[in-house]
């Protein structure tokens, strides 16, 4: 019983980690997109 609970915890941790990684990737993507948009605006002006 204890062993199954332990493996469940590991699986949850792993899933949580991938979610965190995705969030980080989204943050960096948003930063890049913002920079690109700012450059476009500068070129238009």
Mean pLDDT, consecutive 10-residue stretches, the chain (45 aa), reads 73 83 94 95 86
pLDDT computed for residue 2 by the predictor:
63
Name the strand (E) or helix (H) holding 17: helix 2-44
Chain centre to alpha carbon of residue 8:
23
pLDDT computed for residue 14 by the predictor:
83
**pTM for the model:** 0.54
Q: What's the token pair of residue 25?
A: 């990737």
pLDDT computed for residue 18 by the predictor:
86
pLDDT computed for residue 13 by the predictor:
83
What are the extents of the domains in the chain?
1-45
pLDDT computed for residue 40 by the predictor:
92
């Amino acid at each position: 019983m204890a062993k199954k609970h332990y493996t469940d915890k590991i699986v949850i941790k792993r899933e949580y980690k991938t979610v965190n990684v995705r969030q980080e990737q989204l943050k960096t993507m948003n930063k890049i997109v913002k920079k690109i948009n700012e450059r476009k605006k500068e070129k238009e002006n």
